[in-house]
Amino acid sequence: MVFSSAAFLFAFLPLSVIIYNLLPGLALKNIFLCIISLCFYAFGEPVYVLLMLASVGFNYICGIVASRNGAVGLAGLIVGASADIICLGYFKYTDFLIGNINVLFNTSIPLRGIVLPIGISFFTFQEISYLADSYRNKTCQKNPLKVLLYISFFPQLIAGPIVKYSHIEKALSERKADINDISEGICRFIFGLSKKLLLSNTLGLITDNVFGFESVNIFSAWIGAVSYCMQLYFDFSGYSDMAIGLGRIFGFRFNENFNYPYISGSIKEFWRRWHISLSSWFRDYVYVPLGGNRKGIARKCFNTSVVFILTGIWHGASWTFVVWGIWHGALVILENIGVINIKNKLLSHIYTLVCVCIGFVIFRAETLALGINMVKNMFFGFNFSTLSYVSLFSLLSPYNVFIFILGIIFSFPAAKKFERLKYPFSAILFILCILSLAASGYNPFIYFRF
């Protein structure tokens, strides 16, 4: 079930909010949220609900052990985190490893065809952070129901943001959602829904067309690249907005996950603004434990490389994601050591956007070779055949051009100007969203596959 589906908007969500607010006491509310969160997950992955329950139970026990002193606590952390990583690796990377072994050693080991549990990358990272924080702080949650709610809470279960336990620990025990919280949450949800349905979906169709063209020239290649950058941003930031809004409806305050990343003047700044919960997770649980920037420039570069390679691998079992991570890591290292040091604000902004575009083209491509070919066409695609022109002009319908321009505008802080009109504006946007949902069957969520 996705947030932008009719089943969620007109059945699951309103019923959940009504029943939740009718229940007396926070204990019953927490139990109810656990039940509906598991039902939400079961809607798409009924079998893997058992996997999630087993995973939560195992991490609950390991968290208690990890909170103890000495070698026992360290053992609890290592055993729990290792099991989480092995589980994630089995489901996400087994076929990728088999495929690469077959290529390298000319073998024919059959692929396992393992179905990836939805959201496993997100809730696995939450479990690992819970264990690490239990070990560091020597405290853990003794109530298993609260650990279950922390991991399974449906607004952030499928595609984040990745929430630290400490961020919502107090809210699990004492919270309330007044009329202001509910109204603010609904508005935030509708803004996210609008990003998804009104912008991302149309930009996604443009992107799919370009990446499916037989003949691509420099103009259509850049249209496809920029469209995908905006599609990905509005898809994922829209989902994060919806998750933050839903959390607030139930009394939870999640941290922001995006802060207008396309205004960045460097790749380092980009990663302070893009998918903030993921970059913060890698900083706190990988980069800093490896030594961060405390052990000299060489060690800092090594630590940065590890973080970005893992970031690429986390996104998916494909060399396109690995290369995307290496690309960003290399640029950050070059910025850190001063090789890339653009003083002019406009030029630094252009450099950042071009580099991000190149990276996301690789990220989007089905294979590394296709991604490299698309990047080549972005700079050397001087193919002006009749077919390339026909392909190009098929993209330029008035509606596509309008959404493309609107996407550029709303990728920047201009969107903040609408906050003063959020209540009437939200009503209009919701109507437009429903019309869009009724008119189109194209409604993917990109980050569901991660």
Tens digit of pLDDT for each residue in 337-360?
999 998 999 999 999 999 999 999
Does 330 reside within a domain? no
- Same structural domain, 169 and 205: no
- Whether the model pTM is above 0.85: yes
> Which of 156-165, 208-217, 257-266, 281-290 has the weakest average pLDDT?
208-217
Are 15 and 146 contained in the same domain? yes
Give one DSSP letter per residue of 292-346, joined into a string.
TTSS-HHHHHHHHHHHHHHHHHHH-SSHHHHHHHHHHHHHHHHHHTTSS---SHH
209 shares its domain with 101: no
Q: Are residues 200 and 349 in the same domain?
A: yes
Q: What is the pLDDT of residue 6?
A: 86
In a domain, 314, yes or no: no
Domain assignment present for 437: yes
Say whether 349 is catalytic.
no
pLDDT, tens only, 309-346:
999 999 988 999 999 999 999 999 999 999 999 899 99
Look at residue 218 and tell me whether its pLDDT is greater than 70.
Answer: yes
Give 233 or 158, the one with higher predicted confidence.
233
| pLDDT over 70 percentage in the chain | 94
> Do 155 and 197 fall into the same domain?
no
* Mean per-residue pLDDT, 60-68: 94
Q: Which residues contact 187 (CB under 8 A, 6 or more apart)?
A: 245, 422, 423, 426
Residue 421 has pLDDT above 80, yes or no: no
Structural domain containing residue 131: 6-175
Please, are residues 172 and 149 in contact by the beta-carbon 8 Å criterion? yes
Q: Are residues 108 and 219 in the same domain?
A: no
Instruction: Return the pLDDT at 157.
Output: 87
- CA–CA separation, 40 and 49 (whole Å): 10
Contact call for residues 275 and 192 (beta carbons, < 8 A): no
In this structure, the answer to whether residues 109 and 85 fall within a common structural domain is yes
Which tens digit of pLDDT belongs to each residue from 143-157?
A: 999 999 999 999 998
Residues 35 and 138 placed together within one structural domain of the fold: yes
pLDDT surpassing 70 at residue 442: no
In a domain, residue 334? The reply is: no
Model confidence at 400: pLDDT above 60: yes
In a domain, 325, yes or no: no
Q: What is the mean pLDDT of residues 170-186?
A: 90
Q: In the chain, how long is the greatest CA-to-CA distance? A: 72
Residue 90 identity? Y
Percent of the chain with pLDDT over 90: 66
Residues 132 and 109 in one domain: yes
Can you state the angle between helices 165-173 and 144-152, rounded to 10 degrees?
120
- pLDDT bin (cut points 50, 70, 90) of residue 17 is very high
- What band does 140 get if pLDDT is binned at 50, 70 and 90? confident
* Domain end point (choices 140, 175, 210): 175
User: Over the stretch 118-137, which tens digit does the pLDDT of each residue have?
Assistant: 889 999 999 999 999 999 88
Give the pLDDT mean for 417-426: 72
DSSP state of 11: I
Quick one: 152 and 209 in the same domain? no
Q: Would you say residue 297 lies in a domain? A: no
| pLDDT higher than threshold 60 for residue 449 | no
Boundary of a domain, candidates 175, 192, 215: 175
- 110 and 241 in one domain? no
Mean pLDDT of all residues belonging to the chain: 90
Whether pLDDT at 450 is above 60: no
The residue with greater pLDDT, 49 or 388, is 49
CB 149 within 8 A of CB 36: no
Scanning the structure block, which residue is given the tokens 């999630």?
Answer: 52
> How many domains does the structure of the chain reveal?
2
Active-site choice (167, 275, 315, 349):
315
- In this prediction, residue 445 has a pLDDT band, given cuts at 50, 70 and 90, of low
The pLDDT, as a whole number, for residue 282 is: 95
Peptide bond into 161 cis (omega under 30): yes
Whether the per-residue pLDDT at 228 is higher than 60: the answer is yes
Closest CA to 93 of 108, 109, 79, 114: 114
The answer to the question of residue 170 being in a domain is yes
- Compare 44 and 281 and report the one with higher pLDDT: 281
Q: How confident is the model at residue 89 (pLDDT cuts 50, 70, 90)?
A: very high
In a domain, 206, yes or no: yes
The answer to whether residues 52 and 86 belong to one domain is yes
What pLDDT is attached to residue 81?
96
Q: Does residue 165 carry a pLDDT above 60?
A: yes
Where among 175, 198, 213 does a domain terminate?
Answer: 175
- Cα(150)–Cα(152) distance, integer angstroms: 6
| pLDDT over threshold 90, residue 443 | no
pLDDT band at 46 (very low <50, low <70, confident <90, very high): confident
